[in-house]
């Protein structure tokens, strides 16, 4: 699933090619992925409009049109949004815009969990999950004081806490595992048991892994494609994610994989120890899943 660095990579590229281009034709191939408004209104709202630019909030992509209308896309599991200078076959295309330069902006989605909405200025419609997003982790309001305050009230494993978009926006399974490794924090430790210093380390680690992911153009395991339809490179540089059974790059201990809140979770048992008598130890029963 594309996370913050992947969505950021897509937006940065689209901002180099889309601004100033006009949508000549809107082709909605799978209307059920459109959340708002109805297909006919969506077409009327987009055709003939010029694209201003692309921005990101959490894992949501916002495409601004010249009249203030915003298109909001969420790629979910397997969605991609890319520009192609000439028409090309894509069997998973669900929506595309024909642009006045002969190119197309394509929304492609194998498993069709992605969502699309168009919102006109002043409209009260809000995209599900967007209003309650926590702070952007690369912005200044994501501080260790903020994080510590939230952690203190959380009895969930820190892995689940960080996946909750209401606590911090844009993190997913890959970058949470990477950040916890870098901060030296075991994924099963409970928020309430973490110290101020842990929160400081975590803020620094989250920023560091996200910035590295953006620098490498995102992480591709299966479906993620950047704004040009190409692959990311960050999978070559991961410390723990998808490396279970392999030696830790820092200490040589074998990386383990467990399930936390139903999600595959990778960590180094030596670099991310569980403190003795930590109540999180009780959760280790589903160790082999």
Return the active site residues: 2-3, 59, 263
Decide if residue 54 touches Zn ion (CB under 5 A): no
DSSP string covering the chain, please? Answer: ---HHHHHHHHHHHHHH-TT-BEEEEEES-GGGEEES-HHHHHHHHTTPBEEEEEEETTEEEEEETTS-EEEEE-TTTEEEEEESS----TTEEEEEEETTS-EEEEEESS---EEEEE-TT-----TTTTT----TTSTT--HHHHHHHHHT--SBHHHHHH-TTTSSS--HHHHHHHHHHHT--TTSBGGG--HHHHHHHHHHHHHHHHHHHHTT---SSS---TTS---SGGGG-SSTT-TTSBPTTT-PBPEEEEETTEEEEE-TTTSPPPTT-GGGGGGGGTT-
Which range binds Zn ion by CB under 5 A, 81-89, 104-112, 147-155, 244-252? 244-252
251 binds Zn ion (CB under 5 A): yes
* Binding letters toward Zn ion, positions 199-238, x by CB under 5 A: ----------------------------------------
Write down the least CB distance from residue 176 to Zn ion, Å: 17
Shortest-Cβ-distance residue relative to Zn ion: 248
Cβ proximity to Zn ion: between 74 and 186 the closer is: 186
Report how many residues bind Zn ion under the rule CB under 5 A: 7
Q: Shortest Cβ distance from residue 183 to Zn ion (Å)?
A: 13
254 binding Zn ion? (CB under 5 A): no
Comparison of 136 and 256: residue with beta carbon closer to Zn ion = 256
The token pair that represents 122 in the structure block: 């002043």
Spatial separation of the C-alpha atoms in residues 289 and 287, rounded to whole Å: 6
For residue 251, the minimal CB distance to Zn ion (Å) is: 3
Tell me the closest approach of the beta carbon of residue 270 to Zn ion, in angstroms.
Answer: 4
Separation between Cα atoms, residue 32 and residue 253, nearest integer Å? 47
Residues 267-286 that bind Zn ion (CB under 5 A): 268, 270-271
Q: Which of 250, 261, 274, 280 binds Zn ion (CB under 5 A)?
A: 250
248 binds Zn ion (CB under 5 A): yes
Question: What's the min distance (Å) between Cβ of 267 and Zn ion?
Answer: 9
Which of 7-15, 80-88, 219-227, 241-249 is the region at the interface with Zn ion (rule: CB under 5 A)?
Answer: 241-249
Q: Under the rule (CB under 5 A), what is the footprint of Zn ion?
A: 248, 250-251, 253, 268, 270-271
């Amino acid at each position: 699933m594309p996370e913050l660095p992947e969505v950021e990579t897509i937006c940065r590229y689209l901002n180099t090619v889309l601004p100033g281009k006009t949508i000549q034709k809107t082709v909605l191939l799978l209307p059920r992925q459109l959340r708002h408004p109805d297909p006919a209104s969506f077409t009327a709202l987009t055709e003939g409009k010029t694209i201003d630019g692309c921005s990101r909030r959490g894992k949501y992509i916002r495409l601004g049109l010249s009249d203030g209308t915003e298109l909001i896309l969420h790629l979910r599991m397997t969605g991609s949004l890319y520009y192609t200078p000439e028409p090309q076959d894509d069997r998973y295309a669900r929506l595309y815009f024909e642009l006045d330069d002969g190119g197309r902006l394509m929304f492609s989605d194998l498993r069709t969990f992605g969502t699309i909405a168009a919102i006109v200025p002043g409209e009260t419609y809000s995209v599900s999950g967007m209003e309650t997003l926590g702070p952007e982790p690369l912005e200044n309001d994501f501080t260790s004081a903020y994080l510590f305050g939230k952690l203190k009230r959380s009895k969930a494993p820190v892995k689940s806490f960080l996946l909750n978009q209401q606590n911090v926006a844009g993190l997913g399974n890959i970058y949470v595992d990477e950040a916890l490794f870098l901060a030296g924090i075991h994924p099963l430790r409970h928020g309430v048991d973490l110290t101020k210093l842990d929160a400081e380390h975590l803020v620094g680690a989250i920023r560091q892994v996200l910035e590295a992911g953006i620098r490498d153009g995102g992480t591709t395991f299966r479906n993620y494609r950047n704004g040009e339809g190409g692959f990311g490179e960050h999978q070559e540089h991961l410390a723990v994610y998808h490396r279970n059974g392999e030696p830790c790059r820092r200490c040589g201990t074998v990386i383990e994989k467990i399930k936390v809140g139903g999600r595959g979770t990778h960590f180094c048992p030596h670099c991310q120890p569980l403190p003795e008598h930590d109540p999180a130890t009780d959760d280790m029963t589903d160790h082999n899943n």
